[in-house]
């Protein structure tokens, strides 16, 4: 098939490669524009952009699509069978959605209608969901409201972080999008009951609220690894938390955030957690033992 692929981050790269390997003709790839990053402000190219260039595929990086006559004309003249979208970062307007013969297909990392929106992977872990998956969706003008073509499930384990689940779903999405183009299944409308929304995440979302239960904090820390990360403060210093272990899910013996012992056991609103990896200002993430050798943490002190 003649396709245009629209995607930006690592999540979308396996799908692009799978479509190429399956023999589809990728007319062009759309990705977010390169932007300055790091101390030197060198231009940072999106992973999909770099992957497309490695295949000598034309990469287009418009700042917007709505009202963009040049891009609309390009897509119209390309006589596409379908547009494939995976974490692209721009909303497709109606006049683009209607262009391809088979429409625009989105690879969405949740079991729709649960977790429509920008952060479905993180939201599913944070909520304590036991399952998630991939949906191949026929795009419409709504926010992830289109009909479902195919879906596949995967379990969320208590060891999963957003990073591990991201990689599993990325591979599953690649497999499913190729299958959907072969089988061309009949679309099924989403149920409106059970719809939930996954918001865009910001750094401040990673602040730990110690009044939550031990299980809720564990879910947040796994959900926000690696982005946006998790942090707390002690004596005015920001401490980043990489991982924790639930010691006791129900016990409540001290005010939330209290450091109970020299092993960094922390009282939560309900239950006890032990911090297993932490990061002090200006240093790398480290095991708790190494952290304590270089950072004074007094029993009875309280994280805020």
136: Cβ–Cβ under 8 A, 6 or more apart, which residues? 105, 106, 107, 108, 148, 149, 150, 151, 176, 177, 180
Give the C-alpha separation, 71 to 67, whole Å: 9
Give the C-alpha separation, 74 to 241, whole Å: 47
Cβ atoms of residues 170 and 87 within 8 Å: no
Residues contributing to the annotated binding site for (6S)-5,6,7,8-tetrahydrofolate: 110-113
End-to-end CA distance of the chain: 55
Give the C-alpha separation, 131 to 274, whole Å: 26
Give the C-alpha separation, 277 to 5, whole Å: 39
Residues contributing to the annotated binding site: 110-113
Tokens of 124: 């599913």
CA–CA distances in Å: residue 239 to residues 136, 202, 244, 262: 39, 17, 13, 17
CA atoms within 13 A on the CB side of 184: 6
């Amino acid at each position: 098939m003649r396709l245009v692929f629209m995607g930006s981050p690592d999540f979308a790269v396996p799908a692009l490669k799978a479509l190429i390997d399956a023999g589809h003709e990728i007319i062009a790839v759309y990705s977010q524009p390169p932007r300055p990053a790091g101390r030197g402000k060198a231009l940072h190219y999106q992973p999909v952009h770099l992957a497309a260039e490695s295949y000598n595929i034309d990469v287009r990086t418009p700042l917007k699509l709505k009202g963009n006559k040049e891009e609309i004309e390009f897509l119209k003249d390309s006589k596409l069978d379908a547009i494939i979208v995976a974490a692209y970062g721009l909303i497709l307007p109606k006049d683009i959605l209607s262009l391809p013969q088979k429409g625009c297909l989105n690879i969405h990392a949740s079991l729709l209608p649960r977790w429509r929106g920008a952060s479905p992977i993180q939201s599913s872990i944070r909520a304590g969901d036991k399952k998630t998956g991939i949906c191949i969706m026929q795009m419409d003008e709504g926010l992830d409201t289109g009909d479902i073509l195919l879906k596949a499930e995967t379990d969320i384990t208590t060891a999963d972080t957003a990073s591990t689940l991201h990689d599993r779903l990325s591979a599953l999405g690649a497999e499913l999008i190729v299958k959907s183009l072969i089988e061309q299944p009949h679309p099924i409308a989403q149920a409106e009951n059970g719809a939930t929304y996954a918001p865009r995440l910001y750094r401040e979302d990673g602040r730990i609220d110690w009044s939550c239960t031990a299980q809720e904090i564990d879910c947040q820390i796994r959900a926000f690894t690696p982005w946006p990360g998790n942090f707390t403060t002690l004596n005015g210093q920001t401490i980043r938390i990489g991982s924790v272990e639930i010691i006791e899910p129900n016990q409540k013996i001290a005010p939330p955030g209290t450091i109970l012992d020299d092993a960094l056991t922390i009282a939560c609103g309900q239950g006890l957690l032990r911090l297993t990896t932490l990061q002090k200002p200006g240093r790398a993430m480290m095991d708790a033992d190494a952290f304590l050798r270089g950072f004074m943490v007094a029993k009875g002190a309280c994280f805020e």
